[in-house]
Structure 1
């Protein structure tokens, strides 16, 4: 997988350009789809989709439909896919953007736990345990929900 320039670097270059065409002529924009990115990640890992299914904890039909472009994952399913594909934090954020859902945000307690797990090489199951032990909703949606103070 070719190393891409960071969004921040590209934004700086765009804002420094005298015209939008000057920036566009540099060829830094992408027409990447979620499906192509997932396949790229899977090939980098060198595994079959069945291994992604097992590692992600998602229903096989859900995973195969996402890889086929028949459906788009919700946020938690996209995060689970990222764990199944052993994504770095940058790759996870890109996957979330391509899925059309919110990126992980360290100001949100639950997201902070997930970010920490990704950065520390935890599996999806280990992340579930970290979320559960802190009273946060798990990725499978089975954990306790925090109640707002009244």
Structure 2
């Protein structure tokens, strides 16, 4: 039932753009429209969705075990490149990658940026990390860190 009460993002933004808005009224009236971002839950859901072992994800993403578990516990917010590494290792979708980037306060992949286009291609075509690194290099772009 709360889903029915949720407003579209554009509706919320239009309300906020009004000149004499009472911000407290806005907050109170739109309580059901706000999302609560729990990075730990988001990562756990993505890991489950991948059906990959944690060991395989760590190895395929080429990240340290400690760093991986700090991400999983919500203690670390991964960089944009680390998120891409994890998404590739888990063989998840571009939508999953964009969501993770957004929730971790990173810019989403943008196809007008050459490097981002190569990353999008890699995600869509289920390339592994090493194939993406080679693709980035051969196109004069920086490798994922």
Q: TM-score, normalised by structure 1?
A: 0.74
Structure 2 residue aligned with 1:126: 131
RMSD: 2.6
Question: What is the 5 A alignment of 1:63-78?
Answer: 63-78=68-83
Given the alignment, which residue of 11, 24, 28 partners 2:30? 24
Bigger fraction of residues in helix: 2
Q: Deviations over 1:64-118 (max 9, x none)?
A: 1111122111111111111122221111011011112121111211111101111
The answer to whether the Cα contact below 8 Å between 1:13 and 1:23 also exists between their aligned partners in 2 is: no
Q: Deviations over 1:109-135 (max 9, x none)?
A: 111110111112222222111101111
Q: Return 5+ residue gaps in structure 1 as ranges.
A: 1-8, 141-150
Q: Select 1:90's aligned residue among 89, 95, 114.
A: 95
Q: Which has the higher contact order (CA 8 A, sep 6+)?
A: 2
Alignment of 1:1-150 (within 5 A): 10-14=8-12, 24=30, 27-140=32-145
Query: Aligned-pair distance for 1:21?
Result: 7.0
> What is the total number of aligned residue pairs between the two structures?
132
Tell me the distance in 2 between the aligned counterparts of 1:126 and 1:28: 41
Is there any run of 5+ residues in structure 2 with no aligned partner, and where?
A: 1-6, 16-24
Deviation by residue 1:20-52 (Cα, 9 ceiling, x = unmatched): 579836x45421322211100111222332121
Distance 1:51 1:23 in 2: 45
Q: What's the TM-score, normalizing by structure 2? A: 0.76
